[in-house]
Chain A
Amino acid sequence: MNVGEPDARSPLYRVLLAVVTVSIFLGLTFAILSLPPDAAGLAERVDAELAATGVRNSVTATLLHFRGYDTLLELAVLLLALIAIRAIRRGEASPPRPGGEILTVLAGLQAPAMILVAGYLLWAGADAPGGAFQAGAVLAAAGVLLVLAGVQLPQRTDGLQFRVGLIAGLAVFVGLGIAGVLASSAFLDYSRLGVRVVTLVLEGGAAVSIGLVLLEMFRSVLGGSRAPRKASRSMGQLDG
């Protein structure tokens, strides 16, 4: 399995490649040094429009409002990756690893705290650094901790509720986008929906999905995910 076509081992090939990469580096260096010393980019425009978003943190505003469409698509990427992984694994399951007594207890104590932190990050994200992604990551981390510690999580990962959780972020984005259409005039335009609330809902949905998806990915990589085989078979019949 080799991305490079010719024999990657041959020294001559390596030398040539090294020369190429170095020259790429030099070229890019030249390009970057030639950039104007100070470029405003879109910063001023962002500041100017920030008020309209009801969010004080300009990064969050960019993510959820100015470039919300990107975020929507990127939630789709997350979901997509998970679907692809499930399709590939066809659910080879490995038994949950036995965790030590203490580890289990400590993890059980720590997880709620982490979930609390996630909630805080979510709330603070509107005004300070933080937001859905950070929160989602912490959620996932909590889950990962529990899995590693051998705490039994609900194994039915193909149940409807679970799937709803997985798609929540994307669904909320699409739903609110269309709501924006109905309410005012543009897709993803929340100006008439109460931006503050919208922001929270979006962040919440995104955080939940991101946390669950990341956790699911981790468990798949562990080979820990159960039942997709059954799931895929039950799906497999529908168009048979």
Chain B
Amino acid sequence: MSAADPGAWLVWLVMSPLIAAILVFLVPRIAFGIACANALCTTALALAVLDRVAEGPVRYALGGWGAPLGIDLYADPLTGVMLVGASFVLLATTFYAPGYLAQARIDALYWPLVLILQAALNALFLAADIFNIYVTLELLGLSAVGLVALADRTRAIAAALRYLLASLVASLAYLLGVAILYHSHGVLDLVALADSATGTPATWAALGLMTTGLAIKGALFPMHFWLPGAHSYAPAPVSALLSALVVKAPFYVLLRLWLGPFFDAPPEVGDLLGVLGVAAIIWGSVQALRQDRLKLLIAYSTVAQIGFLFLFFPLVKAHTIVQGITLLMLAHALAKAAMFLAAGNIIHYLGHDRIHDLHRVAKELPLTLAAFGIGGVCIIGLPPSGNFIAKWLLIEAAFDSGEWGWAVVVVTGSLLSAAYVFRVIGHAFTLDDVPEAGNRVARPMVWTAFLLSLVALTLGLFAAPLLEVISMPVAGTADAMGIFP
């Protein structure tokens, strides 16, 4: 296949990190070089795909069999945006990691693990077959657990185990749903399912099982219990990857299912998910306010932000909702990654992340604090951040569907996030500038965090063209996202 064939790009998006992982596993010495090459290559590919899918979705039949017998790779604007976001965050962490790993004495097996994680992410975003999605989910979950456990400390190990068990139960619920769907419709391909899915008991059972499973993996309140530990005790670059990308993946699958086979799901289910989302926003924010460790605060903020994503389900039929949610996923990924990387710098410098002892940070690590602050401003959703546009679209959707209670929720949630973000920044502005210096923070670590936060902040200015791409034929119908080729 020629490089011009967009289908080939899809394949390479999965294979490039996988091959890189194999090489790194065989010859550890070249790890960093390989990782950089892969990161740059996948970023280019992702951008190319995003550009291409603007003209319409791309399908690629692996092995030439074609769905429903074979497995297809599928990319539409939603996929494109996710791929681009993932590759950006991974690019940043790739340059960030070496300094951090060296200092925290973290095993170099980080590299193969993180490369497989990327392969799993891309494979999941490109998957169009519900069983294939199951395999990618497992690949993703196990690599994430391995990365968490790299922080070789008992708390981290415990968090990793808890994460693993939760994610296994979730996968099995999902798999049982797949089994029931397959045995009632005889196909695994999302499109074919969306065509043939009807309101049979089997479909609704599958809906329940798969949604629950994915909600556990996506840490929807009250199934978020595994997240704070896993995301806060992991090494900083891993925390960034988990909060920015990994936790979005199951939600992405939910999006696919609810825009496809489950599009006609009873609205009560959607409302229930929305209510849980609201609970997540409030609970997560309140917990974030009560933490005294920076990384735990950021982790709980992720719990809250996931709540915003789940406002998708009650508004699923609204006009601008898909654009809003997609943009929100991207914007949150960038901002949250920046915040975790900044937190990593602070820990690296101070040796701890107790919020009350953040003196000197404003003076000694201005760029890092700026990165955290800008990331926080994005999370709050102030203009011109991408989150602002995204929340604007959410509220618009709420007004369109006449249920503007959800709009109030969005604004309230933003206020709460402002509270915990500035709680941290306030502590960074303190008088006592103790002369004692902390560990020097390597330049790449500072700049990756800072630049990432700038990208997140200015995302809103580029939102218009992005939204042009995301907006698909008839919004509000099952092929709103162009699930149908």
Using a CB–CB cutoff of 8 Å, the interface residues on chain A facing chain B are 1, 3, 5, 27-28, 30-32, 34-36, 39-42, 45-46, 49, 65-70, 73-74, 76-77, 79-81, 83-84, 86-88, 90, 160, 163-164, 166-167, 170-171, 174, 177-178, 180-181, 184-191, 232, 234-236, 238-240
Contact = CB atoms under 8 A, between A and B. Distances in A.
14 contacts: A3-B169, A35-B180, A65-B65, A73-B135, A76-B119, A80-B143, A81-B142, A90-B152, A163-B25, A163-B26, A170-B18, A184-B64, A235-B108, A240-B102
Name the residue in B111, B135, B161 with the highest tally of chain A Cβ atoms < 10 Å from its Cβ: B135
Interface in B123-143: 123, 131-132, 135-136, 138-139, 142-143
Contact of B11 (A187, A239, A240): A187
A191 to B, nearest CB: 7
Nearest to B176: A28
Q: Lowest 9 CB-CB distances: which A-B pairs, in order? A: A84-B146, A235-B108, A31-B205, A186-B64, A87-B109, A235-B28, A188-B63, A189-B64, A34-B201
B182 interface: yes
B186 A42 contact: yes
A180 B60 CA distance: 14
A80 B149 CA distance: 13
Nearest to B185: A39
Contacts of B226: 3
A191 B62 contact: no
Contacts of A69: 62-63, 71, 132
Contacts of A234: 28
A186 B22 contact: no
Counting chain B residues whose Cβ lies within 8 A of the other chain, the interface size class is 35 or more
Binding site secondary structure of chain A: helix
Nearest to A185: B1
Contacts of A41: 182-183, 186
A85 to B, nearest CB: 8
Residue of A5, A88, A177, A180 with most chain B CB atoms under a 10 A cut-off: A88
A239 B64 contact: no
B68 interface: yes
Interface string B353-393: 00000000000000000000000000000000000000000
A87 B146 contact: yes
B316 to A, nearest CB: 23
B220 to A, nearest CB: 13
Contacts of B225: 3, 5
Contacts of B142: 77, 80-81, 84
Given A73-B136, A84-B149, A181-B8, A236 B105 contact: yes
Given A42-B187, A235-B109, A239-B98, A76 B61 contact: no
A160 B23 CA distance: 11
Given A185-B1, A189-B63, 16 more contacts: A32-B202, A34-B200, A34-B201, A66-B63, A70-B71, A76-B120, A87-B107, A87-B113, A163-B25, A181-B1, A186-B64, A187-B8, A187-B62, A235-B31, A238-B28, A239-B97
